[in-house]
A and B are shown apart, each in its own frame.
Chain A
């Protein structure tokens, strides 16, 4: 209580039982559950109207502390609407509302003309406000604003008035805080969703899966991300990262880092150099700390090259069941200001091998050492199915299933397709994919006993069939081609299917693809149906008489 309000104390008690009941009803009117369904704007207006009525005052207003923490700005008002319209602001500590915010105590001014507090708002004079009562809006002891009421006639606000106004203030403070968190959370979530890749590319030779799991605890959306960048010429860029902190700030900075990473990745081949540049960018931003891995994957070689800044180790799961964390290179997180020459490590993904990238939310548990989390990850990842989608789901279920996660989680799994039979892959109907498809076919034929001639024959025939699909079957939309390769009784059969129908060859130089296929392949079967065109290329593998 400030000195202004203590003089009120003798009359502070409640006079009669009727009055007590009336007060109780008043409190109910401002704490009614039904009000919770209003949006913040309507709720504030409704509360101000009710409080004006209950306390029989002429003005009621809410001011909120601005982001700078130093200024109050009018947010809602009744009887003083111009305060909001004119965008009234005042520094905390100055004037009437400024004093309430500074002291975090109710302030009563029975008579403006004889007040030790200087009222700076000219509106109070214009409107002939005579008496004022203000209470702070508090959230966990922090002042987020001020609620005040005013009377045009001289009035001594009583203790009960102060208490009732404080009840309203608490209600208002809570609603504002909840609304802020909800809005922040919504924006951060929308931001996060818009920044993560909507779909992952179909790649001949590799299967990709990724998951992002927001933290289960309310309003703790984090700054985890993953990204897949098609670098052209049979290379793929993959980034995963984690910006420190939660909420809108973390999500926004995550977006910045991810975009900067993309820009560098398109321009620079070496992962370590991409990180060096990103690190300089992060230092200049003077923002939060972030951990990150940037990796490139050679789609023909299966070679992964990566550099790591403070991020958890990538995990390789070999086709034979062995696994290893890739911990040779590292460096400090981004944003520490430390000049560090990031180095790169490489690993080759052989057919059937999987690379797993993840953020620390997956392995960090309160009260557990990091190594325990890593062991749990290896156990979960090894026990999971080979298919990357299923593997991601299984790992996440196993490691985060039965606990409330306070951190968000991102996981990316990349698997080099195994040359088991049958081989099934999908890839975009784009000419840029042909070289990689040829490479994949050669490797599959070789792995299944084919000679160099067999490899070359299937490479060109498959490439021709795919080129036909690309040229005839599709427009510029995102269509895919399916390829299936199988071996039966020594005869390899590769099936190429699309969803279009091949038109008649145009011009004298067109239509050489089919003769070329027939030249190299024993049996070429082309079938065009309603659902698309299917080509089956069959050839006996092994040495043949010349």
Chain B
């Protein structure tokens, strides 16, 4: 009944899973989000797109979540892409830790879905 700091929702598009995070991600909710994300991502999808368009805040605990997810998906040979709007606060935080060197970043969901399968 009480609103959460962040909500995680999923949308399946063929063999691509689109996960969207709305709200704020910090140490208080990253555990729950991580659990929910990793539990929902099944082995049978080819790629996962994590959409942070509506994520208003993320800190180092959220960054860790992304790195963890990236490592796990890499092990399962699944593709992983991030959607981060340019010049957003989240984009600034992620670029501070050079996340684009580990996970490809697209400016919008359509771009990410179109890019799935293409060599980066």
> Interface of A with B (CB < 8 Å)?
231-233, 235, 267, 269, 430-432, 434-435, 438, 456, 459-460, 463-464, 467, 470-471, 509-510, 512-513, 515-516, 519-520
Contact = CB atoms under 8 A, between A and B. Distances in A.
Contacts of A463: 26, 59
B43 to A, nearest CB: 23
Interface residues of B, number: 22
8 contacts: A233-B2, A430-B28, A434-B26, A435-B5, A464-B60, A471-B27, A516-B97, A520-B92
A43 B71 CA distance: 80
Nearest to B63: A512
A509 B5 CA distance: 23
Given A232-B2, A435-B26, A509-B67, 10 more contacts: A434-B26, A434-B27, A463-B59, A471-B27, A509-B63, A509-B68, A515-B96, A515-B97, A516-B97, A519-B96
Contacts of B40: none
Nearest to A517: B60
Contact of A464 (B4, B5, B24, B59): B59
A467 B27 contact: yes
Interface in B79-105: 89, 92-93, 96-97
Contacts of B1: 267, 269
B61 interface: yes
B64 interface: yes
A113 to B, nearest CB: 78
Given A434-B26, A435-B26, A460-B59, A269 B2 contact: yes
A513 B62 CA distance: 11
Nearest to A235: B2
B117 interface: no
Contact of A509 (B2, B24, B27, B64): B64
Nearest to A467: B27
B28 A512 contact: no
A321 B27 CA distance: 40
B30 to A, nearest CB: 9
A283 B42 CA distance: 53
A512 B1 CA distance: 33
B5 A233 contact: yes
Given A509-B67, A519-B96, A432 B59 contact: no
* Smallest CB-CB A-B distances: 6 pairs: A519-B96, A431-B28, A512-B60, A431-B27, A513-B60, A509-B64
Contacts of A460: 57, 59, 89, 93
B119 interface: no
Nearest to A267: B1
B4 A233 contact: yes
B3 interface: yes
